[in-house]
Structure 1
Amino acid sequence: MRNDVEIIIAGDARGVSTAAADIVTDLVRAKPNAVLGLATGSSPLGLYAELAARVVDGLDMTAVRGFALDEYVGLAPDDPRSYAHTIRTTVTEPLRLDAANVHVPSGVATDLEAACDGFESEMVRAGGVDVQILGIGRNGHLGFNEPGSAFESRTRITTLAEQTRRDNARYFAQPQDVPTRCSTQGLATIMKARTAVLIATGTAKAHAVDRALRGPVTVDCPASILQRHPSVVVVLDEDAAHSMSRDCLQWPATTSDSSTTTGSLAPGRNEYATHTRPKNR
């Protein structure tokens, strides 16, 4: 059965980052040692930059703990192409987190499977993830859980889809340099988070978003499992929401202050009841 999903549609990518940062800010103020699940692709970079600006303005995130979604197998943590490097430079350092409290799956451990098990154990010891930040792949992947991934999957070593390798080739000198394997949190791991926040911008993500939110719950679209999560917030710009039924949405104009509109996708329906989400910084 589909649970209610809160959908926030911002006028532009900046508004997406602001709306998502509001969610994290509220969490950190209520629980200073909150545990964040950290997406590693391009989708959350604006969110991380917005949080960094708020830290400069006085938001204290020093006690926050974090667990990254995934890592490439074969890339050392100091490799600029690794997600360990990305998390360090976009999250740990600018948000002034304690590096000892930020965990990234290992892509170079001698025993990769044991490292995956250890990563899961660390999450349990931390008390679980409060807010899991997510992006979505054009093929519907979450983390590096590609189509066909079992809904019961945990942190593990898996193979990247060719579509994903093509999409990520822009971060490498040559397409063939993109690793073929990765370590990723599993879908069951992601679903244990108390709240999931999915971020998507741009028309390239519109079809995947529509499949994830309104299509059948199927391993062919891993993100569709979020329909079963009890607390999901989806933050989109107008382009990423393009495939949604326009006659069921109140679309905000793109403005300088990036106004947002929210709605609920009711169980079994493709309609939205909308209201303005208050801003909070």
Structure 2
Amino acid sequence: MEVVIQPDAGAIATLVADEIERLLAARPDAVLGLATGSSPLAIYDELVRRHEAGRISFARARAFMLDEYVGLPDAHPERYRNVIDREIAGRVDFAPGAVQGPDGNAEDLVGACAAYEQAIADAGGVDLQILGIGTDGHIAFNEPGSSLGSRTRIKTLTSQTRLDNARFFDDDVDAVPVHCVTQGLATIMSARHLVLVATGSAKAEAVHHLVEGSVSAMWPATIMQHHPRATVLVDPAAASRLQLGDYYREVFAAKPAWQGI
């Protein structure tokens, strides 16, 4: 696992956008994994800037979303399909239908989960997966206690996750759905490169467990320690609980520029 400590969200976004630009230059038909929440927003803004400047195209790329709420109306602004369209997919040149997400309103949710898992496999898997992390260590909506071998499935959100996400629902926790459809931890681990972004002191404890703790279902993101190519990008506040913070800074400072992240 590579840990990269950067001054702020803008610097993190630049590094991640650099990596995505390199990937699409080498493989224009690459498959990206897109996350929602606050963490990736600066990345999406940077990608849009580069697209508008003619530096990057998504015309041949495909993308898969991590998760979706169950039961939100199709037109609801916080339905993740609409969030992804608003923040990135609708701002660049993805082809129609190139961005897919799990169907949280399917009549057969179990069947929809299996179909989504198959769609990712049929696309050849995800080349680069963007991730955030919850204050309780969840990635996607794999809450504490999730199976480390889990695949796309229905999950019940914890009270902490619903409280954290209430800010997107006018601070009304009762408006946050109780259930979701999410890629499983094993699904996420099948991506070829995991790129997790975290900023702010509220994420410091989760980042500490992710990077330096034991692998445990109680902190689901810790499964990333077993991934052959996982990059964790954090600002100083999110890195504040890391015992080896100075070492991570030294390692990245000594890294050849051509390696990227």
If the length of structure 1 is used for normalisation, what is the TM-score?
Answer: 0.87
Percent pairwise identity: 46
Q: Which residue identity does 1:125 align to in structure 2?
A: D
Hey, which of these two has a bigger chunk of helix by percent? 2
Q: Which moved more, 1:134-143 or 1:99-108?
A: 99-108
2:116 is the counterpart of 1:137: no
Q: Which moved more, 1:95-104 or 1:210-219?
A: 95-104
Q: Would you say the 8 A contact 1:9–1:262 is kept in 2?
A: no
Counting only pairs closer than 5 Å after superposition, residues 130-279 of structure 1 correspond to structure 2 as: 130-173=127-170, 174-245=172-243, 248-249=246-247, 263=252, 274-275=253-254, 278=257
- Compute the RMSD of aligned alpha carbons: 1.6
SS in 1 for 2:63: strand
Q: Would you say the 8 A contact 1:32–1:63 is kept in 2?
A: yes
2:79 is the counterpart of 1:71: no
2:90 is the counterpart of 1:93: yes
Residue in 2 that maps onto 1:48: 44
**Alignment deviations for residues 1-60 of structure 1 (CA, whole Å, 9 cap, x no partner):** xxxx11211111110111111111111111101101111111101101100000011111
Q: Which of 106, 112, 116 is the equivalent residue of 1:119?
A: 116
Q: In 1, distance between residues paired with 2:242 and 2:138?
A: 19
Q: Tell me the CA shift for residue 277 of structure 1.
A: 6.4
Q: Would you say the 8 A contact 1:158–1:183 is kept in 2?
A: yes
- 5+ residue gaps, structure 2, are none
Q: Which residue identity does 1:239 align to in structure 2?
A: A
**Alignment deviations for residues 179-223 of structure 1 (CA, whole Å, 9 cap, x no partner):** 000000000000000110011111111110110111000000000
Q: Would you say the 8 A contact 2:239–2:245 is kept in 1?
A: no
Alignment length (residue pairs): 257
Residues 60/242 of structure 1: CA separation in 2 closer, same or farther (3 Å cut): same
**Alignment deviations for residues 49-86 of structure 1 (CA, whole Å, 9 cap, x no partner):** 10000001111111111000001000133210110001
Q: Would you say the 8 A contact 1:262–1:277 is kept in 2?
A: no
Residue in 1 that maps onto 2:9: 13
**Alignment deviations for residues 74-105 of structure 1 (CA, whole Å, 9 cap, x no partner):** 01332101100011111211122123011111
Q: In 2, distance between residues paired with 1:239 and 1:56?
A: 32
Counting only pairs closer than 5 Å after superposition, residues 30-45 of structure 1 correspond to structure 2 as: 30-45=26-41
Q: Would you say the 8 A contact 1:78–1:84 is kept in 2?
A: no
SS in 1 for 2:88: helix
Q: In 2, distance between residues paired with 1:179 and 1:53?
A: 33
Q: Would you say the 8 A contact 1:135–1:200 is kept in 2?
A: yes
Q: In 1, distance between residues paired with 2:195 and 2:74?
A: 26
- 5+ residue gaps, structure 1, are 252-260, 264-273
